[in-house]
Structure 1
Amino acid sequence: MTPILVRRVQITLAALGVVVTLIGAVIVAGAYRNDAKIDANKATAVAEVIAADRLHAAVNFVTPDGVLRNPKLGLLYPTQLSTGQRILVDYDSTDPDTLARPAGRGADLSIKPAVSIVAAGWIVVIMLMLAVAEVGRRTRRG
């Protein structure tokens, strides 16, 4: 493997690391944006969790106008919920079918998963960069 090829592969891998970092930043920024939209038109209701797993929770709640709501994408920050549980949810009163979260939870819960994604991405990128450098070194030697 020529030094030029090694350098190009490493630059491509570094670019991939930057993309992973941007993905992490978008995750956190999106969570803060969603929270800001909820907080701008915040309403609270009692909801029943109709389905829940580690990454998703679906709920039903009734808005003051008497309409049964079920947010299309489920709740934001759905961890530690179980089916049948009754919880308070904060929702965007202008769009209750889209944005809802358990009361008291916020975007700061998105930081840890985003940092984990970025860290894992960079670990993989660095390991691949080192492997490419080693292959290049061995190729030049012999």
Structure 2
Amino acid sequence: MGTVSLPDTWVYALRLPHDPRAARVARMTVRAVLKGHGRHEVLDTVELLTSELVTNAYRHTGGPASLRLTALADGRLRVGVWDSHPRVPAPFGEPPGDRVPLAPADAEGGRGLRLVQEHADCWGGLPLGNGPLDRGAGKLLWFEVSGRDA
């Protein structure tokens, strides 16, 4: 009888309602998943950045959001947040990894995306659906953090 080992790659997805508690639910989910997979080294960063993206989805849309956590074979972790608004904000609207001027630390908004620039290894975003029948398809924002070997 052979032993069963958990795969290094996995995917979790979560649909979030348009609710002010969505960021908290996302944080709790990220914490549980990463602890369950022994990914303690990225837990705080992923939890913080996920919370920022989900909060933005709630604040800037009137619809639901989705969260997707993907562990890649090389140890990286990719987090994607979909929402129903088609506009991709800077720095996500720039080519992945490009840096744009950061919001001042005392600014009313924009600090969450500053955190992504400071703590993620790479990030990006894309509007979804360009055809006339794709109205309301929204956008996907994502970031990646390095794995164990970083």
Which of the two has higher C-alpha Rg? 1
TM value normalised by structure 2: 0.25
Provide the TM-score with structure 1 as the length reference. 0.26
Which structure exhibits the higher relative contact order, with contacts defined as CA atoms closer than 8 Å and separated by 6 or more residues? Answer: 1
